[in-house]
Amino acid sequence: MSVIGNSPNPNDISVFKTVNKQSITGTGDSSYNLSYDVSVPEELEVFVNNVRQEPKIAYNIGSGQITFSEGIDSTDDCYIIFQGSRVGTVEPASNTITRDMLTSAVKSGSAIVKRQALNSDITHTLNHTPTDADHMLLFVNGLYQTPDHHYSVSGTTLTLGDSVGTDSAHVLFIGYS
């Protein structure tokens, strides 16, 4: 059978991930411990009586637990498929990445990342001049902010939108010399 892309190495089983499953025996409660770590509810496929549940509506996650919008009874059949655990990473072997595999910015040494903390003002003078808003990243309280929607940049002037709080704001400048 032909494949598109790289053929998997049949001798390297680490690239094949199994899907983890957890069954929940209902007690009438709405919160249960999860057997595996997950970051967001969408990493789970949750079924109650073989009906798939909608993330953030029928259930949510937090602190290693799943919390349902309604309690799970002992007569209910509930199981969870951990889809997020199927995503694996493959680390390239030592000395296998060549210069030709890198972007021109990395080859020339111009892919520099610099950081600047912001105060609570709406308008800021930047320490560096990004080419445009796409060459910088703005994070507020750890959340990425999108250009044009949350902020604008013109030269060294950064203007935050009204909806952006600045409790902990940082700018990362990317891709300039």
Residues 52 and 20 in one domain: yes
Report yes or no: 115 and 153 within 8 Å, Cβ to Cβ.
no
Choose among 93, 86, 81, 84: nearest CA to 9.
93
Q: Is residue 94 part of a domain?
A: no
pLDDT at 177: 41
Give me the sign of the Cα torsion angle 50, 55, 56, 60.
positive
Rounded CA-CA distance 147/140 in Å is 13
* Residue 92 tokens, joined: 């390239």
pTM (predicted TM-score) = 0.44
Domain limits for position 139: 105-174
Residues 78 and 125 in one domain: no
Q: Is residue 133 part of a domain?
A: yes
Q: Is residue 112 part of a domain?
A: yes
Q: Is residue 110 part of a domain?
A: yes
Rounded CA-CA distance 74/37 in Å is 24
pLDDT at 168: 62
Q: Is residue 5 part of a domain?
A: no
Rounded CA-CA distance 61/44 in Å is 10
pLDDT at 64 > cutoff 70: yes
Residues 158 and 129 in one domain: yes
Q: Is residue 137 part of a domain?
A: yes
Q: What is the pLDDT of residues 4-32, one digit of tens each?
A: 666 666 666 555 566 789 999 999 999 99
In the chain, the number of structural domains is 2
Once rounded to an integer, what is the mean pLDDT over residues 120-149?
74
User: What is the overall mean pLDDT for the chain?
Assistant: 76
DSSP secondary structure code for residue 5 in this structure: S
pLDDT at 176: 47
Give the least confident one: 71-85, 91-105, 120-134: 91-105
